[in-house]
Structure 1
């Protein structure tokens, strides 16, 4: 079981740890219209999953905006942002931020994604900041779990991994 730093304190991550080379586990999240989004919806597509603790905070805001910009330039790559925020809060934030090139989904209901990918922060009901790239065959080709949740991920490496998976 690994851990991250949140608010200056170590926090354990719970769930099944996923590593590069693993088959990406299934999960169910909630779209902003309250419909279910299942991992099966991504089958056959290169998918970059951007995981943020709360979309309405500075680094999470910047991360989601950055990947929204990149999504417009990346051919053959679907980008999905996952957080444990309520779908209503995500919808409001996306409308205000002009997010229209990627999908933002909620893991609030049962933390299906957080548990399946091992990024749920124990006792906080938030997800750790992370990036996963999944190729068209469903294999994880890139993983970054940011050690200090208040820091940015390596955007360039994630984008390069997504581009490589799409070739």
Structure 2
């Protein structure tokens, strides 16, 4: 388990993020059209996983916008924005924001992703939701960047994540 904070209060997660050099665990998430998506569906591409509690909060929405902006021009790279929000909320957000460079996916059906990636919060006010993290995977499925953001209200380190793709 990992320890993070929300508004200065301690929170625990169900496990630990995959670390650099690990094989990224496969998963099944739900896309905006309600179809199932797996990490293996993106095999051969580099993948940025922007993981967060809810698309309807300022910091989470900002991270989706920033990764959308920064993903423009990155060759062979897919950005997956992952939360437990319903796919309808993801679809509404990207439509309203006119975002084209991110794929929003939901862990609402099984909760499998949060457990496999160690990001499901097990204590605190947001218990059951995903913590804020970024995992970058290369074309072979190896983790090349891993960040669990220590305070939920803070943005991830975009530069460190994206530097691994340059």
TM-score tier by shorter-chain length is: over 0.9
Q: 122, 126, 129: which is aligned to 1:126?
A: 129
* TM-score normalised by length of structure 2: 0.93
Q: Which runs of 5+ in 1 are unaligned?
A: none
The corresponding residue for 1:24 is 24
Q: Whole-Å Cα distance in 1 between the matches of residues 17 and 63 of structure 2?
A: 22
Q: What pairs up with 1:125-164 in 2 under 5 angstroms?
A: 125-163=128-166
* TM-score normalised by length of structure 1: 0.93
Greater fraction of residues in helix: 1
Q: Following TM superposition, where does structure 1 have runs of at least 4 consecutive aligned residues deviating by more than 4 angstroms? A: none
The corresponding residue for 1:34 is 34
Question: Are the counterparts in 2 of residues 16 and 115 from structure 1 also a CA contact under 8 Å?
Answer: no
Q: Which runs of 5+ in 2 are unaligned?
A: none
Aligned-pair RMSD on alpha carbons? 1.2
What is the total number of aligned residue pairs between the two structures?
A: 163
- Structure 1 residue 31: Cα displacement: 0.4
Q: Whole-Å Cα distance in 2 between the matches of residues 65 and 98 of structure 1?
A: 10
- Alpha-carbon displacement from aligned partner over 1:65-124 (angstroms, at most 9, x marks no partner): 000011212112111110110111111111111111110100111112111111111151
